[in-house]
A and B are shown apart, each in its own frame.
Chain A
Amino acid sequence: GAGVSQTPSNKVTEKGKYVELRCDPISGHTALYWYRQSLGQGPEFLIYFQGTGAADDSGLPNDRFFAVRPEGSVSTLKIQRTERGDSAVYLCASSPKDRGDYGYTFGSGTRLTVV
């Protein structure tokens, strides 16, 4: 597609539930990133994929968070046993391989609200 697509745009879930957030990167972009942005803050790095593998997952806050990218394109961020503190906008970005020096293209994010 023309840009990075994230679905859903909004998600409200109850505390303790499981959620999945989807990211469709720009076609041909091999690098994919997940960030989390809390209100009034800058985006916080979660995980980075190069192709199908997670090259850097150092930003995942705990083992309730997991992300996959099985075919090297679409990625899913999975959050188990959601907590109110997980409420934030989850941003996905992609970039061509070896093109980190051009910045990323971000999607519009998924706003997750845990009630």
Chain B
Amino acid sequence: GESVGLHLPTLSVQEGDNSIINCAYSNSASDYFIWYKQESGKGPQFIIDIRSNMDKRQGQRVTVLLNKTVKHLSLQIAATQPGDSAVYFCAENRARGGGFKTIFGAGTRLFVKA
């Protein structure tokens, strides 16, 4: 079946180090991916997105890499800060009914150690 999933449920990093969160997807027709950050008690927050015609996109302290050959994407956070502690979801947008439906993976919880 189609799925978007993550390799690890938790990730612990030292403050100041770089974080890498991985995600695998199974639908080879997927052409648009998003990373969301969810803090406790809040809804998911858009971080960065990437289309399938790209293999890398950079934002502020974040980089998303897409490898279509192995259907894998990753989120890299530079100089991880305590405020980065949250659950991170990769998600796939699928066009439906004139709009888009976002399919989420299970999430990776990032712990940042001071």
- Inter-chain CA distance A48–B103, complex, in Å, is 13
Complex Cα distance A104/B32, Å?
Answer: 13
Partner of A56 from the list B34, B96, B106, B107 (CB cut-off 8 Å) is: B96
B99-A48 in contact (CB<8A): yes
Query: 0/1 per residue, B2-43, Cβ < 8 Å to A?
Result: 000000000000000000000000000000101010000111
A window 89-103: CB within 8 A of B: 91, 93, 95, 97, 100-103
**How far, in whole Å, are A14 and B2 apart by their CA atoms in the complex?**
35
Give the docked Cα–Cα distance between A63 and B105 (Å): 26
Give A108 to B38 CA distance when docked, in angstroms.
Answer: 10
Contact B99 A106 (CB under 8 A): no
Residue of A nearest to B48 (CB): A103
A-side interface residues, number (CB < 8 Å): 29
A102-B49, A103-B36 as given contacts; A43 in contact with B44, CB under 8 Å: yes
Does A20 sit within 8 A of B, measured CB to CB? no
Q: What distance in Å separates the Cβ of B4 from its nearest Cβ neighbour in chain A?
A: 8
Whether the Cβ atoms of A42 and B49 lie closer than 8 Å is no
- Known contacts A48-B96, A50-B99, A100-B99; A109 and B46 CB within 8 A of each other: no
Tell whether, in the assembled complex, residue B102 and residue A104 are in contact, meaning their CB atoms are under 8 Å apart: yes
Interface assignment of A107: CB less than 8 Å from any CB of chain B = yes
CA distance A102 to B45 in the complex (A): 11
Q: Are A103 and B103 in contact (CB under 8 A)?
A: no
Q: Which residues of chain B from 73 to 102 have a CB within 8 Å of any chain A CB? A: 89, 91, 93, 95-102
| Contact, CB under 8 Å: B96 / A55 | yes
| 8 nearest A-B pairs in the assembled complex, by CB-CB distance | A106-B43, A100-B100, A55-B97, A42-B104, A103-B46, A56-B97, A56-B96, A31-B99
14 contacts between A and B (CB under 8 A): A33-B101, A35-B104, A42-B91, A42-B104, A43-B44, A45-B101, A48-B99, A50-B99, A55-B98, A100-B100, A103-B36, A106-B45, A108-B43, A109-B42
